Structure 1
Amino acid sequence: MIKAHGYAAKHSFSKLKPIGFEREEPGLGEVEIAVMFCGVCHSDVHQVRNEWGNSVYPCMPGHEIVGRVTRAGGDRSKFAAGDLVGVGCMIDSCRECAPCTGGEEQYCEGPNSWLATYNGPMKPAAMAGGTNAYGRDNTYGGYSDVLVAREEFVLRIPDKLSPKAAAPILCAGVTTWSPMKRWGVKAGDRVGVIGFGGLGDMAVKLARALGAEVYVFTTTTEKVADAGKLGATGVVEGDAEAYAKLGNSFDLLLSTVPEKHKVDPFVPLLKRDRAFVAVGALEQMSGYDNSELAKHRKSLAGSLIGSIAETQEVLDFCAEHGIAPEVQVIPIQEVNRAYKKIERGEVRYRYVIDMASLAAEVADA
């Protein structure tokens, strides 16, 4: 077993605190990774607080992980010691169902769905008739010094990307990239990005690089200037007159808002046969007028993270086009303070933990 250290919460009402634990040695087809950086996602906050009602404790978050391979299980791995790699939201799936064999592991239909980097299988054993295909009910994420993952779920970090900036691309990047590819965003399209946090920042940059005209919808006045700096054609702060002028003009509306919000104000903005896609919220959305959808054959849709292939694709795309998220690097000792700022909407735009700070703490223990 590998002796490991990290930060975890033991209850929904407790802070993240240092813990020691053990990881299994890398088996055949697996790699061991020394974690260098780990992004702090709003999903981490939801999960630690048990706001989705499915948290497993101890809960050790972290699914935007960048590090270096230290060793591989077996003698035939596509990775070698020293390789700079990343791990996103998944570390395994059934690898046999139609979505998995079709390269869409995030929609795995196996007995337990995919295995999350932390918080265990997406579908717990109790929901699958008491059978856990992965032999475990919990997993520990990247708020730790070491990680073990199947090599099929490990990504190569391009040399042109800064390791600390690459971390959020593994979630925020692919979560916005996947629907843009699915709904065919291309040069000349008009894309609306609703919400302008960590996901919104990446959505604007990616859509612009694809040649789209981008509008940002935000209720935070302080973010207007930032959106303009990223090249947004326009910023809409909720003014009804501004909405009316944009009616029937968008090829895609991408909602990155991490909580339940109203859909109705946005549906009239879509062109015929176009879609409103929610990627930020996993709760029930608030109301819509089906007549508005029916009259113009518009769609409401959702999209879940992205596949492993799409994650590698967006990493390479970002490296090629010089795209990187705005990050603020923090030591792990400040993670609880970071959570409070995320909950208050005060982050510009993505916290990334420098895991060297954990190593210093362990050395002092």
Structure 2
Amino acid sequence: MRSRAREALLRFYDAHARALPFRGAGDPYAIWLSEIMAQQTRIETLIPYFERFIARFPTIASLAEAEEDEVLSLWSGLGYYRRARLLHECAKVIVRDYGGEMPRDAAARLALPGIGRYTAGAIGSIAFGFEEPIVDGNVTRVLARLYGWDEPVGSAALEKKLWAEAAALVVGERPGDLNQAMMELGATICTPRAPQCERCPLSADCAAFIGGEPELLPTPRKRSKPRKEPLFLLLAVDPAGEKLLLKKSEGALFGGLFMPPHGIETGDTEGDRDRALEPFGLRSDEAPVKLGELRHILSHIAYEVSVYRIEIEHESEYARGFDELDSLGLSRLTSKALALL
């Protein structure tokens, strides 16, 4: 069955692979960048980000030389900003230790910041043609359904089966295309809901399809609900409406991104205002005007955000012109709040 599956996957890829800007050239940098961007992000969403990023930083060396603020600015909107910081850090290591070229050795790739087994395998197979396996969400779904594996996603038992089978499948010609074929099949045909089994090249051997309930596999992992947390966010503008207070956050959640004054909402609006302005070295007696409410959900926190505006006279080092915002690394939450002004 494995040889049939391999042949069917490559035929499918030849006939139906999407034209994506990072495919075809075999550029290790482009493949690495696209795989990092694709984590937690749909391909359709990342394409314009990829194109802007690669236009500004066409080489690993140019990325390594960049300021973190510019890297985060180009990443702004993709979320999960730790990916961008690790990408930047990794580029510096590659320039320092490997002359700006992605290492061909698998162990060396795995030792780089932000590169795990999946990303290392994607670079090795797609860019270098090595028989290195990959397992992501799409591959997990394809293989779990094909073989009828019902262990929960993320469990050690399922991970062991997935990597063993992926390693066996990738042996042979065109390992990079084989890996991309599984990802493509999972993204376009073998989808989480309403899979198009009638179009699937593996349906004749697929245990989940034969069993009649493909959507039941893979068995989802148990997830805890994100905790709710009230957040007070203050848009402090100057009287001319030209500048806004923004400060680079040092916290774990928004670290490295520019945020307006903010803090946990207590219900004491004036007290919340004073606590939010304190890190900026400013005070105000003006009553904040509520602009609206937002929900901002991260993997483990659901922020219930109250957005306020005040007008404040200030000559602060943290005052940023509205015409500067596109060049700053803003959090997605900040962008959503600014839309209420």
Same fold (TM over 0.5): no
Higher helix share: 2
Compute the TM-score of the two structures, normalised by the length of structure 1. Answer: 0.21
In our comparison, the structure showing a higher alpha carbon Rg is 2
Compute the TM-score of the two structures, normalised by the length of structure 2. Answer: 0.22
